[in-house]
DNA sequence: CATGCGGCCTGGCAGC
DNA sequence: TGCTGCCAGGCCGCAT
């Protein structure tokens, strides 16, 4: 689920609501996520103040006083909602942060592929974040970087772009969109793509992510922002999920195939 | 080291 | 209607 635009949407949504609040208690109803929620989390964070909320890759970072940071990953099906008032727990509501000033942050994740981690000191050195590639919206993400890094790689361009050590935040939806916009077939070998095409790809990755952020993310089924609103970027998708429908650029038919075990969507006319 | 695949979980949906 | 099988936005670990 949440790829970069969705996590960014949640980040921007909750930041103004929780910065400055301090923690009364954290309720953990089901610690068994992809990794176990740390034992004693509530005691560790009780009384600490939220200093800032940021995002790195697909992780949401909540920075607390006392130099510690909560890292939240939403996996495939996770949502994080701010509730002004208490609401009865439902199935799959695994954790909730309750603030002294009122208000609470509820973590729901039916498939439990998400994670809640605690980092002391610089969170970027936490094992989950160390070793990640550059942010796609940063200056480090350039055509030259992709070109040099991809030399001699035989993996598909689709897989290469989705690897978080290449560049972070691009998942199965946005990789289809960016490759479609750049006119590159998803099965092309990463190591055989020219500088010129990488330049176009970098531009299109940035463009699609920015447009998706502006739309509040993509809601296919259950994604929602911090206040429960869906994202509207699904209306703008040009390739993902459109197999059999006409390409909006050339009128050809959008195809689907499986690459690396994941479904991929492309236009055989526009992409090669 | 690079690559490819299965597994983790649950829910929704198509097809029978 | 009810069952089965397949698929899903991510990521890790293992085998080759």
- Give CA separation, A184 vs A253, A267, A272, in Å: 16, 9, 5
Q: Residue A50 sits in which domain range?
A: 4-125
Is residue A132 situated within a structural domain? no
pLDDT given for residue A228 in this prediction = 87
Question: What does the alpha-carbon distance between residue A49 and residue A27 come to, in Å, rounded to a whole number?
Answer: 17
Give me the pLDDT at residue A77, please: 92
User: What residues approach strand C to within 7 A at the CB?
Assistant: A 1-3, 6, 34, 57-58, 73, 75-77, 111, 113, 128, 162, 164, 171-173, 217-223, 261-263
Examine the domain organization and report whether A49 and A165 are in the same domain.
Answer: no
pLDDT of residue A1: 60
Nucleotide nearest to A173 (CA to C1'): C9
Residue closest to A253 by CA, chosen among A264, A242, A262, A263: A242
| CATH number, residue A228 | 1.10.8.50
Q: Please identify which of the residues A56, A58, A104, A158 carries the catalytic annotation.
A: A58
End-of-domain residue from the set A96, A125, A154: A125
**Number of residues that make up chain A:** 272
pLDDT tens track of chain A, all 272 residues? 699 999 999 999 999 999 999 999 999 999 999 999 999 999 999 999 999 999 999 999 999 999 999 999 999 999 999 999 999 999 999 999 999 999 999 999 999 999 999 999 999 999 999 999 999 999 999 999 999 999 999 999 999 999 999 999 999 999 999 999 999 999 999 999 999 999 999 999 999 999 999 999 999 887 888 898 899 999 999 999 999 999 999 999 999 999 988 999 999 999 99
The Cα–Cα gap between A59 and A72 comes to 5
A135 in any annotated domain: no
Specify which residue's alpha carbon is closest to the C1' of nucleotide C9.
A1
Give a yes or no: residue A272 inside a domain: no
Do A154 and A87 share a structural domain? no
Nearest partner of A187 among A133, A270, A266, judged by Cα: A266
Domain boundary among A97, A125, A153: A125
Domain-located, residue A138: no
**Same domain membership, residue A223 and residue A165:** yes
Who's near A49: CB < 8 A, 6+ residues apart?
A: A20, A21, A22, A64, A65
Indicate the residue among A60, A90, A125 that finishes a domain: A125
A127 is catalytic: no
């Amino acid at each position: 689920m949440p790829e970069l635009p969705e996590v960014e949407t949640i980040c921007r949504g909750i930041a103004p609501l929780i910065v400055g609040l301090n923690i009364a208690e954290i309720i953990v109803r089901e610690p068994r996520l992809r990794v176990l929620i740390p034992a004693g989390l509530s005691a560790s964070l009780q009384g600490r103040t939220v200093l800032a909320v940021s995002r790195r890759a697909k992780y949401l970072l909540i920075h607390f006083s006392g130099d510690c940071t909560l890292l939240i990953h939403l996996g495939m099906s996770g949502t994080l909602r701010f509730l002004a008032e208490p609401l009865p727990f439902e199935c799959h509501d695994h954790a909730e942060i309750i603030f002294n000033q009122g208000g609470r942050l509820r973590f729901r994740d039916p498939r439990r592929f998400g994670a809640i981690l605690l980092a002391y000191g610089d969170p970027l050195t936490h094992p989950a974040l160390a070793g990640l590639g550059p942010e796609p919206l940063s200056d480090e993400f350039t055509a030259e970087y992709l070109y040099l890094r991809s030399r001699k790689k035989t993996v598909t361009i689709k897989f290469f772009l989705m690897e978080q050590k290449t560049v972070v935040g691009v998942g199965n939806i946005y990789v289809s969109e960016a490759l479609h916009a750049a006119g590159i077939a998803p099965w092309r070998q990463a190591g055989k793509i020219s500088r010129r095409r990488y330049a176009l790809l970098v531009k299109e990755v940035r463009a699609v992510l920015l447009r998706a952020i502006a739309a509040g993310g993509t809601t296919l089924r259950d994604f929602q922002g911090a206040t429960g609103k869906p994202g509207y970027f699904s209306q703008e998708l040009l390739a993902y999920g459109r197999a059999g429908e006409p390409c909006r650029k050339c009128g050809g038919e959008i195809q689907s195939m499986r690459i690396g075990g994941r479904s991929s969507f492309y236009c055989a006319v526009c992409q090669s």
